[in-house]
Every structure is written in structure tokens, then in C-alpha cells.
């Protein structure tokens, strides 16, 4: 039996500490045993245990367990993700029920059964890891929402198409309809997804996103569905998938066009049956999620060529939002430019210098192949290094219009990649940002086009 994890034992009986130390040490990553509960917080901060085995009585009243409840409250106040298992020789049903209600995850009587205590700790370690995984995802999503809200500026605009977009989002967000967001890279599809979730009745539930463009195809299934311990080599502990974590909330599937045919079938099954099963498990669990997907690909064309399932597309685009490219938004360019100028001036603690008439003319004439994301980087560059041109020389909307006369998708993609590599002087990370894709996707596309 593999428990692993770090265990903190707190008991004023030295014999108990010694016995548990000897029993658990072979099954854990690390173990600490203390007899003074006053040191619990100290050990939580530097040892960071996965599980705390806590005695309920420390001498004040040998059978009441009140000290245990008090220390449990202090532990959970210090770290709400703590996993605490009570231990006591004076066990009864009322005490066990109260312990669970107070926040303990289990109750071990003294004397214990060795097999039972190992199984209990194994489950507790898994619970701790699940709690931390969920906490990290929520933190990541919170930071993403904050970053997108402050920096992308997708909803800053007065052009008719943006006003209509805001109105449609407000009308549709309160429903449970699945939504497909289309548009070029850098137009703000992820921000629209967050806004839909924020305005929905699911706003208090998780918003879980997965960028299918930056995950190797062989990891799609484990990321989406999760897995049980031992499901494959390296699966040393169970892991919840993104679909499971999004239960009750919104699942955002970015770059949905990258999903393989096999995974398309499995996602379709989840949508139709509203249930999910981890890899390596025979059990299914009900799931209640709203799917918001995004793509810069023409999925109808993918359906026609047989690389994307038509029935899945119908399931995903109950409602479709198309985000316009920045070059079609007129004076929104200047509204966004001033927004980013103020934002980065505060970030870098500089005094913002307004745009000259010549700079405004160039901004309005530039084609912005990277859309809002490219504009954002351009303005950041102007704030950091105002003596260096912040826009590529000699690139106007008229020139871009001539280049776009060819409608061959592969040729347009090849041209965009070459231009991004030129503008970034071969810096792959910067080129990927300009294109609105990950470095992994950029490497694949370079290989695909033989660039």
C-alpha cells in the first residue's frame, strides 16, 4: 500500500508517537511527531504536512475532546486546506459526528488497526492533493481573469460591432447554452469566455480553462478526464480532470479545433450523457457543466474535410459569437491604445506622453495582424523604450489588404508566421505571442509549413 505524503503526528503520549512513527515511516515521504500542540502552527509553516494526526485530549480534560476541537479550529483558520484526522481512546458516535462537522476528515480510535489507519491516511493524502489542485486552479483562473480584465481591453470600444457583441453577451450569458467563440488570434476570445461566466448564474462556481493548443495530443485525455492511480505508467496518484473540476461551472476549451477525432467523440459523449469517467476507472459520475469553446479555425471547413465532427460542432455552437479583427474596429484602436498607455504608465511608474498626430495616424493605418494582443505589446514597448519605434515600419492597412487578396488559408498562415518571426528577430516566444499561439503550436506549424 502506497501512502506517501508528509504526516504530522500530535499526541502527548510518547508511546503513541513512537508506535505511529515506526508504523507510518516506511509508507510516507516524511514524518514529524510532536507532543506539544502549541507547536502545531510552527510545524505547519515549515514542514507543510499533507495530513495531521491530532489527539483530542492533552490533559486539561482527559475525555472531553474539547482541546482537540479548539486546535482543529486553529489549524483550519491558519490553513483551510488542512486535512486533519482525530485520534482518541474515548470514541462515541456523538463525538465522531461533531468532529466531522467541525472539519476533521476522519476519526481513528485508539488502539488502532494498522491496515485501517494506513488506508485512512492514504485517502487523506489523496484528499489533500485534490484540495491543493483545486486551489491552484482557482488561483490560476482568478489571476487570469484579473489579468485579462485589466490588460486585454476587449470590451473597451464604441464601434457598432463591439456594442452589439456586449448586448448579445448580456442576453445569452444567463442561459445554459453552449457557446462557440470564433475570431482571429489576439481578438480577446478568452476574455469573452470569462465575461460570459461572470454574467451567468454559474459565476460562483469554477471557471476551468484548458488550452488545447499547448497540450501534446497524447495528454488531452488525461487533462480533460483525469485518471485513477495506476491507470498508466507514472500515474502514482489519482487526478481529477478539468471536466470534473468544472462541475457546476463553466469549462472553457480554447483552440477546440486542435482536438483529435478520438477525443471529439469522447467529448461528445460527455455532452450527451452529462457524465464523465476517469481513465482507469469503471465508475462514472454526473457532471453539470456549460461549455464555452473558442477557435480561430474554420470549423465548417474542417467538417467538410472530415477532420471535425459535425454533430460535435452542432453541440458546441448553440450560440456563436464572432469577434472582429482590430483593423475593422475603427477608432476603437485609439481607445484601446490610450487604455494600455495609462495601464503601462502606472505599471512602470512613468508619466504617460500622449500620442502625436503622426503616431495616431500610424496606429489607425496599421493592420495589426496580432489584433488587440499586438496593440498591447506595441504600447508596452512605447512606454518602456519611447525612443524606439513601437510599430513596424511601412506596414499599412492598404498593404495588408493587397496581401490578403490570396484567400488560401495555408498560405495566409505561412505568411503570418514568417512576418511574426521577422518582427521578433527570430525570438520564438515573442513570435508565438504575436501570433496568439503557444510556442509548442508555433513549432508544429513551422514544421508543417517547412519554414
DSSP 316-367: H-SEEEEPPPGGGSTTHHHHHHHHHHHHHHHHTT-PPPPPPHHHHHHHHH--
3-state secondary structure at position 51: strand
Q: Which residues pair with 6 in a beta bridge?
A: 30
Domains and CATH numbers, the chain: 6-128 (3.40.50.2300), 160-322 (3.40.50.300), 327-449 (no CATH)
pLDDT number for residue 137: 62
For residues 347 and 386, the answer to whether their CB atoms sit within 8 Å is: no
Return the residue matching grid coordinates 516566444.
429
Give pLDDT, residue 444. 73
Report field, pTM of the whole predicted structure over 0.85: no
| Cis-peptide, bond into residue 136, ω within 30° of zero | no
CA dihedral 170, 173, 179, 183 (to 10 degrees): 30
Whether 392 contacts 406, CB under 8 Å: no
pLDDT tens digits along 170-206: 999 999 999 999 999 889 899 899 999 999 999 999 9
Which has the closest alpha carbon to 75: 54, 101, 57, 99?
54
**What is the pLDDT tens value at each position of the chain, 451 positions in all?**
455 789 999 998 888 899 998 898 888 888 999 988 899 999 998 888 999 999 887 764 555 667 888 888 999 999 888 999 988 876 666 666 777 778 888 888 888 888 888 888 888 888 887 777 767 665 555 544 444 444 444 478 889 899 999 999 999 999 999 999 999 988 989 989 999 999 999 999 999 998 887 787 778 888 899 998 888 877 777 888 899 999 999 999 999 998 888 899 999 999 999 999 999 988 888 999 999 999 998 899 889 989 999 999 999 999 999 999 999 999 999 999 999 999 999 999 998 788 999 999 999 999 999 999 899 999 999 999 888 888 876 554 444 444 444 556 667 888 888 888 877 767 777 788 788 787 767 777 776 776 7
Asked if 383 contacts 348 with a C-beta cutoff of 8 angstroms, the reply is: yes
Q: Cell numbers for 403, please give them.
A: 496581401
CA distances to 283, 354, 376, 382 from 360, in Å: 60, 10, 15, 13
Amino acid at each position: 500500500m502506497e501512502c506517501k505524503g508528509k504526516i504530522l503526528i500530535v499526541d502527548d503520549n510518547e508511546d503513541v508517537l513512537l508506535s505511529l512513527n515506526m508504523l507510518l515511516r516506511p509508507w510516507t515521504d516524511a514524518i514529524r511527531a510532536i507532543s506539544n500542540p502549541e507547536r502545531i502552527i510552527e510545524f505547519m509553516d515549515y514542514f507543510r504536512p499533507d495530513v495531521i494526526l491530532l489527539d483530542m485530549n492533552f490533559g486539561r480534560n482527559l475525555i472531553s475532546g474539547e482541546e482537540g476541537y479548539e486546535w482543529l479550529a486553529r489549524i483550519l483558520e491558519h490553513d483551510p486546506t488542512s486535512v486533519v484526522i482525530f485520534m482518541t481512546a474515548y470514541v462515541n458516535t456523538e463525538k465522531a459526528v461533531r468532529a466531522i462537522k467541525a472539519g476533521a476528515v476522519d476519526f481513528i480510535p485508539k488502539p488502532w488497526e494498522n491496515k485501517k489507519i494506513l488506508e485512512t491516511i492514504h485517502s487523506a493524502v489523496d484528499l489533500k492533493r485534490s484540495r491543493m489542485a483545486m486551489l491552484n486552479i482557482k488561483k490560476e483562473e482568478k489571476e487570469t481573469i484579473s489579468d485579462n480584465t485589466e490588460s486585454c481591453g476587449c470590451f473597451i470600444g464604441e464601434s457598432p460591432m463591439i456594442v452589439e457583441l456586449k448586448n448579445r453577451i448580456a442576453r445569452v450569458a444567463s442561459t445554459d447554452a453552449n457557446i462557440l467563440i470564433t475570431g482571429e488570434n489576439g481578438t480577446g476570445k478568452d476574455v469573452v469566455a470569462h465575461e460570459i461566466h461572470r454574467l451567468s448564474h454559474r459565476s460562483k462556481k469554477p471557471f476551468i480553462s484548458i488550452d488545447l493548443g499547448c497540450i501534446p495530443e497524447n495528454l488531452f485525455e488525461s487533462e480533460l478526464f483525469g485518471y485513477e492511480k495506476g491507470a498508466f505508467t507514472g500515474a502514482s496518484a489519482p487526478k481529477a480532470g478539468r471536466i470534473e473540476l468544472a462541475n457546476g461551472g463553466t469549462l472553457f476549451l480554447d483552440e477546440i479545433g486542435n482536438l483529435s477525432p478520438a477525443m471529439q467523440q469522447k467529448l461528445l459523449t460527455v455532452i450527451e450523457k452529462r457524465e464523465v469517467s476517469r481513465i482507469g476507472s469503471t465508475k462514472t459520475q454526473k457532471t453539470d457543466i456549460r461549455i464555452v469553446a473558442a477557435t480561430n479555425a474554420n470549423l465548417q471547413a474542417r467538417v467538410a474535410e472530415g477532420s471535425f465532427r459535425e454533430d460535435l460542432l452542432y453541440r458546441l455552437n448553440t450560440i456563436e459569437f464572432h469577434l472582429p479583427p482590430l483593423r475593422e474596429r475603427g477608432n476603437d484602436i485609439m481607445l484601446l491604445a490610450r487604455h494600455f498607455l495609462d495601464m503601462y504608465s502606472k505599471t512602470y511608474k512613468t508619466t504617460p506622453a500622449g500620442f502625436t498626430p503622426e503616431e495616431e495616424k500610424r496606429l489607425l493605418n496599421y493592420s495589426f495582424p496580432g489584433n488587440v494582443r499586438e496593440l498591447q505589446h506595441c504600447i508596452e514597448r512605447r512606454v518602456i523604450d519611447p525612443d524606439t519605434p513601437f510599430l513596424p515600419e511601412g506596414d499599412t492597412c492598404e498593404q495588408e489588404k493587397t496581401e490578403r487578396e490570396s484567400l488560401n488559408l495555408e498560405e495566409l498562415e505561412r505568411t503570418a508566421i514568417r512576418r511574426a518571426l521577422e518582427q521578433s528577430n527570430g525570438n520564438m516566444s515573442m513570435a508565438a505571442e504575436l501570433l496568439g499561439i503557444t510556442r509548442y503550436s508555433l513549432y508544429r506549424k513551422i514544421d508543417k509549413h517547412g519554414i
